């Protein structure tokens, strides 16, 4: 549980403070202000835990109470603000422990040490954000700003503003520790506002880059999900072993050149003729596939369903393009 | 007889006396008292007593940075502290000799 001497001291002081809970907050603060340093001396000068050497924190508190001149009467009911402060103190103590535990993960004694090292990076980022917000407020050209702080669409202004923002932010960052209280608070508050605005901007940029309006047309192959190709003649009869060509006479390869029959057996199709799998004819006569796709049967594009017309696997040669006008119906949507 | 009961009455004087020749920080003063023979004196008692003497205006403090470890708050007697040490010292001597006499009479009686 206890990892370092400092944690042990913090927890001990916390327990002593809790045992003196009936004293006014200011009196406790005053009484305990030197205790951590004092206990550090105790720890440094010998072996054993603080509790072994000094007794329980409660006994320590009782000793303090009598010798420091405060006589504990009936404890006042704890005030709400005290409870809030108590919870805050406990949370801070836990946070410090976690800080030390996580330290090795970042190769430092404490995780916060690592964050401190990252501060210059934050200054640069803050400078960029400030420049972006400034450009966003000053730009009235109506053009999209993009990811640089452009004003009126000018790259030159953008780079100038970016440099000024980053340098200014670093300058402020290096001096923030020496600022007086109110300017420092103003700087922190400004940084928080910047982060919030930046989060909004980030979400907007993210959704813009995801929702590219022409993505479907430009980038997706509309034939990507075609598995097989069915050609019908004017009478709606399936043309078997059809061959299709482009304007240059090159055969078009579409779909997957293999079939599964009803029992799930896999057969590879060797020839480049369509359909690969005549069994999958989407406009097959209703008697053959009663419930295959009634809607498609009723409103199908070309073929008229003909109950009498069995699919005729006539092994004809490639149909001459002028002789018939095939209507093409992709399947496997 | 319980020494801790006795200590309660004289801890102020003991702390003032420990600071007579040399300033010291809390743990330092505790060690001086223990080295001097007050082995039962408690850490919290010394810490509390020093704070009370300081609040009573008998001590001054100053902080000395330490290379290894935390900064140390040194306590020093101020004139009021020295006067108090002298006065309480006299009271103690009177009390102690009375007790000595009392015990001697009983022993010889």
**Domain extents for chain A?**
5-115, 118-211, 222-333
Residue range A1-44, pLDDT digits in tens: 556 778 888 999 999 999 988 888 888 888 898 898 888 888 88
The two structure tokens encoding residue A120: 């210059």
pTM of the model: 0.41
Residue range B40-74, pLDDT digits in tens: 888 999 999 999 899 889 999 999 887 776 788 99
Mean pLDDT to the nearest integer, A307-333: 49
Contact indicator for A292, A284 with CB cutoff of 8 Å: yes
pLDDT at A78: 52
Mean pLDDT to the nearest integer, A172-180: 83
Query: Are A34 and B47 a contacting pair at CB < 8 A?
Result: yes
pLDDT at A14: 92
User: Using CA atoms, how far apart are residues A320 and B48, in angstroms rounded to an integer?
Assistant: 110
Q: Which residue of A has its CA nearest to B68?
A: A44
For residue B80, the domain's CATH number is 1.10.10.10
Q: Is the dihedral of CA A62, A63, A65, A71 positive or negative?
A: positive
The two structure tokens encoding residue A200: 């909004």
Angle between helices B26-35 and B3-18 (to 10 degrees): 120
Contact indicator for A61, A19 with CB cutoff of 8 Å: yes
Cα angle B106, B12, B100 (rounded to 5 degrees) comes to 15
Distance from the Cα of B67 to chain A's closest Cα (Å) equals 13
As a whole number, the mean pLDDT across chain B is 88
Distance from the Cα of A174 to chain B's closest Cα (Å) equals 26
Q: Supply the range of the domain harboring residue B42.
A: 3-108
Query: Are B44 and A41 a contacting pair at CB < 8 A?
Result: no
Q: Is B54 on the interface with A (CB under 8 A)?
A: no
Residue numbers in B near A55 (CB within 8 A):
42
User: Using CA atoms, how far apart are residues A82 and A17, in angstroms rounded to an integer?
Assistant: 12
Facing B49 at nearest CB: one of A31, A35, A67: A67
Query: In terms of C-beta distances under 8 Å and separation of at least 24 residues, what long-range contacts does A135-139 make, across chains too?
Result: A135/A161, A136/A201
ipTM of predicted complex:
0.81
Query: Are B48 and A44 a contacting pair at CB < 8 A?
Result: no
Q: Is A288 on the interface with B (CB under 8 A)?
A: no
Q: Is A34 on the interface with B (CB under 8 A)?
A: yes
Residue numbers in A near B45 (CB within 8 A):
63, 66-67
Q: HSE (CB half, 13 Å, CA atoms) of A92? A: 8
What's the number of domains chain B is made of? Answer: 1
Distance from the Cα of A81 to chain B's closest Cα (Å) equals 26
- Chains A and B: how many Cβ contacts under 8 Å? 68
| DSSP secondary structure code for residue A222 in this structure | T
Query: Are A67 and B26 a contacting pair at CB < 8 A?
Result: no
Query: Are B70 and A64 a contacting pair at CB < 8 A?
Result: no
Residue range B85-99, pLDDT digits in tens: 999 999 999 999 999
As a whole number, the mean pLDDT across chain A is 77
User: Using CA atoms, how far apart are residues B84 and B92, in angstroms rounded to an integer?
Assistant: 12
Residue range A205-260, pLDDT digits in tens: 888 777 655 544 445 566 777 888 888 888 888 888 888 888 888 888 778 888 87
pLDDT at A297: 45
pLDDT band at A76 (very low <50, low <70, confident <90, very high): very low
pLDDT band at A293 (very low <50, low <70, confident <90, very high): very low
């Amino acid at each position: 549980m206890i990892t370092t001497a400092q944690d042990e001291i913090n927890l001990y002081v916390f327990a002593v403070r809790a045992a003196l809970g009936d004293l006014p907050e200011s009196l406790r603060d005053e009484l305990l202000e030197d205790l951590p340093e004092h206990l550090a001396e105790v720890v440094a000068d010998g072996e054993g835990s603080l509790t072994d050497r000094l007794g329980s924190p409660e006994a320590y508190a009782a000793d303090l109470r009598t010798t420091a001149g405060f006589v504990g009467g009936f404890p006042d009911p704890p005030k709400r603000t005290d409870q809030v402060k108590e919870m805050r103190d406990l949370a801070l103590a836990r946070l410090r422990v976690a800080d030390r535990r996580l330290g090795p993960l970042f190769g430092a004694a404490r995780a916060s040490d690592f964050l401190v090292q990252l501060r210059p990076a934050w200054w640069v980022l803050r400078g960029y954000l400030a420049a972006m917000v400034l450009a966003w407020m000053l730009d009235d050209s109506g053009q999209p700003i993009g990811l640089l702080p452009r004003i009126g669409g000018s790259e030159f202004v953008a780079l100038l503003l970016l440099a000024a923002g980053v340098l200014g932010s670093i300058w402020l960052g290096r001096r923030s520790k020496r600022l007086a209280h109110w300017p420092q608070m103003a700087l922190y508050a400004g940084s928080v506002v910047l982060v919030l605005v930046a989060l909004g901007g980030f979400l907007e940029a993210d959704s813009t880059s995801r929702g590219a309006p022409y993505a479907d047309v430009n980038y997706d192959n509309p034939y990507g999900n075609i598995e097989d190709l069915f050609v019908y003649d004017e009478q709606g009869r399936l043309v078997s072993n059809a061959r299709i060509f482009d304007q240059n006479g090159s055969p078009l390869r579409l779909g997957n050149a293999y079939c599964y029959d009803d029992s799930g057996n896999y057969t590879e199709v060797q020839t480049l003729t369509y359909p690969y799998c005549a069994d999958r004819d989407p406009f097959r006569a209703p008697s053959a596939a009663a419930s295959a796709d009634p809607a498609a049967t009723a409103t199908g594009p070309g073929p008229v369903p003909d109950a009498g017309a069995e699919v005729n696997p006539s092994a004809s040669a490639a149909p001459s393009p002028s002789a018939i006008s095939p209507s093409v119906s992709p399947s496997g949507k | 007889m319980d020494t801790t009961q006795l200590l309660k009455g004289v801890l102020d004087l003991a702390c003032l006396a420990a600071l007579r020749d040399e300033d010291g920080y809390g743990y330092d003063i505790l060690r001086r008292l223990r080295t001097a023979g007050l082995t039962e004196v408690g850490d919290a008692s010394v810490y509390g007593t020093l704070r009370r003497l300081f609040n009573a205006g008998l001590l001054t403090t100053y902080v000395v940075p330490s290379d290894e470890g935390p900064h140390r708050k040194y306590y020093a007697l101020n004139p009021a502290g020295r006067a108090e040490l002298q006065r309480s010292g006299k009271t103690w001597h009177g009390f102690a000799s009375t007790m000595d006499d009392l015990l001697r009479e009983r022993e010889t009686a």
